[in-house]
Amino acid sequence: MARINDNYLKLKAGYLFPEIGRRIKAFTEANPQAKVIRLGIGDVTRPLAPAVIEAFHRGVDDLTRVESFMGYGPEQGYDWLIDAIIDNAFKPRGVNLKRSEIFISDGSKCDCANILDIFDLGNKVAIGDPVYPVYNDTNVMVGRTGEADSRGYYEGIVYIPCTEENHFTPPIPQEKVDLIYLCFPNNPTGAVAGKEQLQQWVDYARTNEAVILFDAAYEAFITDPAIPHSIYEIPGAETCAIEFRSFSKTAGFTGVRCAFTVVPEALRARNAQGEPVALNQLWNRRQATKFNGVSYPVQRAAAAVYSPEGWRQNQEIIDYYMENARLIREGLEDAGVTCFGGTNAPYIWLTTPAGLSSWDFFDQLLNECHVVGTPGSGFGPSGEGYFRLSAFGQRENVSEAVSRIRKNLA
């Protein structure tokens, strides 16, 4: 009989969202008249910008005619999309990238996972706590860890607690690590990192020959002009960092699927003989072998995000979500709740009132306010005592949820 990859058996069953679903189901069955408002899930609700939809349609129409039909495209993505990204997302921030350094994909989740293909299992990995679970679970799947302990920490991974004391930004580890996941603006905490902080990480990575895996899925939600949108705004980062970007949250592409990964040509890591090898070549080989590119109309739609109308329309959508974030944060702060995030990120991370556990507060909100959020403990042990609310809902629902919570806590 064939053998399985036993590493999969080390994973704890997907617990967080199924458990949330189970509790909502039990509640709505017992209270069929209650209008439950969901501020839990990290998915967008606004439709695509009109200019993006038009480009998407035109892309489909191109496929209807022999003259403009498109089959397989380049595995790395079309140059017109890559150029739009270079000129609009990076050049204005003083970052000069080459076409060959950008790889278009169908999602950052898969890129964050697939990147492990090009790194040796012996690398020591550092992960924040709480964290986007993909970073942790994909390292378990490839076999870089032992078993999980009772808290859910896997043997072999260096976890860096992100707490109120360190403003939910991971401090530089004491020990030497080889791969470091950083996510700013952060999911789940909404924390951001300034230039000095990122410079410390870049300096650490260069000193220790480590590689930073920088997830910038929420960069478009940054409102403070002093906060970098890209790790490459930090001098030296092009020699020590890979950056993941996605159109999912920034342009409503969660269901459309388009993202990209930046692997600078100057970035190197060592082979078994100790010789430096360009990671760009390895990622290019990996993508060309295992991936056949993103759908042509989808890339047309993504390029339209950078058109003048597309950009303006999309900014209105981002502003809508950030106004939701403000309503949630200020509403809850008025009610005496300690809130973090929500100013440069679409997530509000709050301290559970009266020292409740994350799940007890979840039950209180569900049962008494009919509002669903996400228990912080679901993102890692250091999330216990915290709770995440998402700003991606419809305005009426957000306002209604905030007023219910305020009445409940008054």
Ligand X SMILES: *Cc1c(COP(=O)(O)O)cnc(C)c1O
Which one, 112 or 267, has the nearer CB to ligand X? 112
Name the one residue in this structure whose structure tokens are 């991370």. 349
**Residue 42 is a binding residue for ligand X (CB under 6 A):** yes
- Residue 248 touching ligand X (CB under 6 A): yes
SS3 content of the chain, % helix, strand, coil (to 5): 45, 15, 40
Q: Quick one: which segment of 248-256, 294-302, 317-325, 330-338 binds ligand X (CB under 6 A)? A: 248-256
For residue 276 the two structure tokens come to 């430096």
Q: Is residue 101 near ligand X by the rule CB under 6 A?
A: no
- CA-based torsion, 139, 144, 145, 146: positive or negative: positive
Residue of 52, 140, 183, 211 that binds ligand X (CB under 6 A) = 183
Q: For ligand X, which residue of 187, 343, 344, 374 counts as binding (CB under 6 A)?
A: 187
Minimum gap (Å) between residue 325 Cβ and ligand X:
15
Q: Which of 119, 132, 154, 168 binds ligand X (CB under 6 A)?
A: 132
Of the residues 249, 329, 370, 388, which one makes contact with ligand X according to CB under 6 A: 249
Determine the residue with CB nearest ligand X: 107
201-240 residues in contact with ligand X (CB under 6 A) are: 215, 217
Task: Give the nearest distance from C-beta 108 to ligand X in angstroms.
Answer: 4
49/369 with CB nearer ligand X: 49
Give the CA radius of gyration of the chain.
22
**Taking the complex as a whole, how short is the minimal distance between the CB of residue 261 and ligand X, in angstroms?**
10
Q: Report yes or no: 398 and 64 within 8 Å, Cβ to Cβ.
A: no
Alpha-carbon 190 to chain mean position: 11
Q: Give the one residue of 59, 107, 293, 393 binding ligand X; rule: CB under 6 A.
A: 107
Query: Does residue 245 belong to the site contacting ligand X (CB under 6 A)?
Result: no
> Hey, which residues between 6 and 25 contact ligand X (CB under 6 A)?
none
Backbone angles phi and psi of 15, in degrees to 5: -105, -45
Token pair belonging to 79: 């140059």
Residue 128 tokens, joined: 């924040």
Q: Least separation, in Å, of the C-beta of 177 and ligand X?
A: 20
From candidates 254, 351, 397, 408, binder to ligand X by CB under 6 A: 254
| Shortest reach from residue 102's CB to ligand X, in Å | 15
Three-state helix/strand/coil letters over 319-359: HHHHHHHHHHHHHHHHCCCCEEECCCCCEEEEECHHHCCHH
CB of 66 to ligand X, least distance (A): 33
Nearer to ligand X, 231 or 405 (CB): 231
User: Shortest distance, CB of residue 347 to ligand X, whole angstroms?
Assistant: 9
For residue 186, the minimal CB distance to ligand X (Å) is 8
Examine residue 108 and tell whether it contacts ligand X (CB under 6 A). Answer: yes
Question: Does residue number 377 form part of the binding site for ligand X (CB under 6 A)?
Answer: no
Selection from 321, 355, 362, 319 nearest residue 338 by Cα: 355
Residues near ligand X (CB under 6 A), total: 14
Question: Binding to ligand X by residue 189, rule CB under 6 A?
Answer: no
Q: Which of 238, 171, 173 has its CA nearest to residue 206? A: 238
Among 37, 259, 303, 322, binds ligand X (CB under 6 A): 259
Which residues of the shown chain bind ligand X in the complex (CB under 6 A)? 42, 107-109, 132, 183, 187, 215, 217, 246, 248-249, 254, 259
